């Protein structure tokens, strides 16, 4: 056995897996007029207004925000306002290809962005807030009021059967709470 080599390989793998993920700056363009903020919040200080087709480099992502660099400024932009790659310059070939593939329009790119919401850091830094709990509870209504409201909106009651994956695959269930 080559123990020192295995130890070195295991140590290297551990360091690589535990190290913070660093993504090389990726070029993107602003898909619509947007704002470069100092922090990833809508009420943060505005550093600069960005026009559509402005080229930026994505440095980091956090929830629905991307940290970008534009000229000498670094700041945060809503991820949904960005398109990967440079802004497209129209050409006959590109326009024809766009018509053939259904991807016509600005940049001939179909964009999808997934945003998860809370990340681990958000959860670790969260604090109990009695005011927010009270506010949430103030929106609660009784079942009769909800039913009346639904009826006035033309909604109908539908029964939905409980789905049990175990019963669906084996034909039997170990659930005793039915």
Give tens-digit pLDDT for 77-109: 998 888 887 654 444 444 434 444 444 455 555
Find the mean pLDDT for residues 142-154.
91
Task: Identify the DSSP state of 104.
Answer: -
The CA distance from 163 to 161, in Å, is: 6
Q: How confident is the model at residue 178 (pLDDT cuts 50, 70, 90)?
A: very low
pLDDT at 86: 65
The end-to-end CA distance of the chain, in Å, is: 57
H/E segment holding residue 15: helix 3-18
Q: Tell me, what's the pLDDT at 125?
A: 82
Q: Cα-atom radius of gyration of the chain, to the nearest Å?
A: 26
Lowest model confidence (mean pLDDT) among 73-87, 107-121, 134-148: 107-121
- Dist. CA 96–CA 88, nearest whole Å: 14
Predicted local distance difference test score (pLDDT) of residue 158? 84
Residue 75 confidence (pLDDT) above 80 = yes
Residue-level pLDDT at 51: 93
CA distance 36 to 66: 10
How is 140-176 classified by DSSP, letter by letter? Answer: ---HHHHHHHHHHTT------PPP-HHHHHHS-----
Residue among 53, 1, 63, 9 at smallest CA distance from 30: 53
Q: Between these two residues, 80 and 167, which has the higher pLDDT value?
A: 80
Separation of alpha carbons 33 and 52, rounded Å: 5
Q: How far apart are CA 65 and CA 74, in angstroms?
A: 13
Distance CA 81, CA 8 (A): 44
Residue 117: partners with Cβ closer than 8 Å, 6 or more residues away: 63
Percent of the chain topping pLDDT 90:
33
If pLDDT is split at 50, 70 and 90, which confidence band does 160 have?
Answer: confident
Q: pLDDT tens-digit profile of 12-35? A: 565 555 544 444 578 889 989 999
Q: What kind and span of H or E run contains 14? A: helix 3-18
Report pTM: 0.43
């Amino acid at each position: 056995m080559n123990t020192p080599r295995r130890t070195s390989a295991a140590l290297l793998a551990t360091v690589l897996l535990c190290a913070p993920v660093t993504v090389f700056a990726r070029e993107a363009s602003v898909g619509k007029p947007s704002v470069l903020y100092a922090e990833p919040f809508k009420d943060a200080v505005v550093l600069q207004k960005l026009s559509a087709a402005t080229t930026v480099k994505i440095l980091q992502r956090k929830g629905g925000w991307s940290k970008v660099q534009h000229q000498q400024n670094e700041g945060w932009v809503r991820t949904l306002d960005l398109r990967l790659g440079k802004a497209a310059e129209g050409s006959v070939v590109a326009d024809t290809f766009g018509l053939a593939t259904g991807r016509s329009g600005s940049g001939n790119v179909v964009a999808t962005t997934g945003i998860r919401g809370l990340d681990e850091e958000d959860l670790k830094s969260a604090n109990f807030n009695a005011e927010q709990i009270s506010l949430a509870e103030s929106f609660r209504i009784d079942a009769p009021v909800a039913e009346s409201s639904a009826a006035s909106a033309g909604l109908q009651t539908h029964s939905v059967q409980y789905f049990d994956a175990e019963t669906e695959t084996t034909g039997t269930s170990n659930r005793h709470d039915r």
